Amino acid sequence: MDGMNFSAEKADSINNILTELVDGGSTGALSDEVASSTPPDALPTRDVILTSSPYVSDTVIQTAIEKEDVLNNAMIRDIMVANPHSAKSEILVDMLENRTTPMPDYLMAEILQGEDSISSKELLESQRAFWNADRSQHYHNLIRYYRTDSVLGLTNDSLIYLLQLRNTVGSWYDLTATYFQRGDYQTGLNILNLIPSSFTLSDKQQVIRQSYENLYEILRNVATDSSRVMNIDSTDKHTLESISDSNLGQISAFARNLLVASAATNYLEPIFLPETELKSSKRDKYRGAKTSFKENLLNVYPNPAKTYFVVQYHLNEIPEECFIELTNIMGKPLSRIPVQLKDDQMVIPVNNLNQGVYIVTLKNKGNTVQQTKISLIR
C-alpha cells in the first residue's frame, strides 16, 4: 500500500505541474483567445502562444493552424518549432499541407526536426506515465495478493477498502466483480448503476458501462442457475456477440470468453507478425509545398506593414557571416539579425518604429547581396 501511495503522490505532483504549465493553465482559454483573434492581433497572438511554449497543447496548435487569416506560415513555424512534440502529430502535419497557402518545404523541414527530440512537455508526461504505471502495478499486485490470501474475512475487507480508496471507474468495476464473487449480486449491481452519476463518462465509456451491465445480468443468471449448466439463450448469445465484436477492450474479452466457455462460439487467438520494414520518418515522404526560388531571393510581406513584417530569403549555399539588416531611409542601422539557414522566413516586429520607408538588406560578410524596401503605416 505504501508503494502505491508513494507512486500516486509522484504522479499527482507531476500532473499538477503539467496543469499549471500546459497552455498557461487553461487550454480552453488559450484556444478561445487564438480562435477569436483577428489579423491585427497576429503578432500578439503568436507571442502569447510562444509564452506558454514548450507546453502548448496540440489542441491550441490546431486552432492556430486553422487561423490562416491571422497566423502566417512563418508564425506557425515559430510556434511548432518552440513545441517540438507537435511534429509527431500526423493530424497537425497534414493540416499544414492543406492550408490555403501550404507550408513551404524548407519551413516544414524545420518543424519536422521535432520528430527526433523530446520536449519538456513530453518529458513530464513520460514521468507521469511512469509513476501511474508503477501505481497501477502496486494496485494489481495488492488485488492479486488479497484474492489469493487464505484469510478470507481479512481478504474481502482489505480488498474492498483498496478498491474504494483508488476510486476510479476501473476500480468500481473491480469492486462490482468483488461483490459478485462473494454472491452479493445486488450490491454489485448497485455499484455498477452508480458509476454514471459518480464519474464524468465519455461516449465510449458510456457504451462500456452499459456493456458491463448487460454482461453482469447474464453472469448473474448463469451463477444463480440451480442446474449448474451454463445455458446461454439466443438473446444472451446475441448480446455477448455484440459486446465481443465492439472492440471495447477487457469487457469484449470477457464476453468472448463466456461465449467460448458456453460452447456458443469457436475462437482462435490471432497471430500478428512483425512488420518487415522499419517505420519511415515523415521527413522521408513529401512534406510541404515545393518552392522554386530565383537566385538570391529576398522578399518582404505584408508590404506595407503595421506591427510586423516577414523577411523571406533564399541563398544558393549555406550562409557564413550572413545577416539581415534593417535601416532607415538614410541608411542608419536599426537592427541586425543573423542568418543561419539557407532558406527561411523571419517574423520582424516593428511596433517601436515610426511610420515611413525602411530598407531591408541581405548581407554576406559585410557585402550587400540584395535589398528591398518596406513601408510602415500606423
**How does DSSP assign 87-153, residue by residue?**
GG-HHHHHHHHTSSSPPBHHHHHHHHGGGG---HHHHHHHHHHHHHHHHHHHHHHHHHHHHH-S-HH
What's at 365, amino acid-wise? K
Sign of the dihedral through C-alpha 26, 32, 35, 39:
negative
State yes or no: pLDDT of 159 exceeds 80.
no
What pLDDT does residue 97 have?
A: 87
Strand order in the sheet with 356-364: 333-338, 322-328, 356-364, 367-376
What pLDDT does residue 262 have?
A: 82
- Residue given cell 506593414 in the structure block: 305
| pTM: predicted TM-score of the whole model, two decimal places | 0.74
What pLDDT does residue 321 have?
A: 82
Using CA atoms, how far apart are residues 375 and 308, in angstroms rounded to an integer? 11
Burial class (CB in 10 A: 0-12, 13-18, 19+), 49: buried
Q: Where are the domains of the chain?
A: 2-120, 298-376
What pLDDT does residue 225 have?
A: 78
Q: Read off the pLDDT band of 111 (50, 70, 90).
A: very high
What digits encode the pLDDT tens for the residues 172-221?
998 898 888 888 899 999 999 999 999 999 999 999 999 999 999 888 88
Q: Read off the pLDDT band of 266 (50, 70, 90).
A: confident
Cell digits for 208?
Answer: 462500456
Q: Read off the pLDDT band of 51 (50, 70, 90).
A: very high
Cell digits for 150?
Answer: 487464505
**Around Cβ 277, how many Cβ atoms within 10 Å?**
5
What pLDDT does residue 1 have?
A: 72
Spell 57-86 as b/e; 16+ CB within 10 A means b: beebbbbbbebeebbbbbbbbbbbbbbbbb
Distance of CA 276 to the CA centre of its chain: 28
What digits encode the pLDDT tens for the residues 75-102?
999 999 999 999 999 999 999 988 998 8
Please give the CATH number for the structural domain made up of 298-376: 2.60.40.1930
Distances, alpha carbon 196 to alpha carbons 190, 203, 207, 218, in Å = 11, 11, 11, 21
What digits encode the pLDDT tens for the residues 283-315?
555 566 677 666 558 899 999 999 999 999 988
Highest mean pLDDT among 207-211, 270-274, 339-343: 207-211
- Residue given cell 458510456 in the structure block: 206
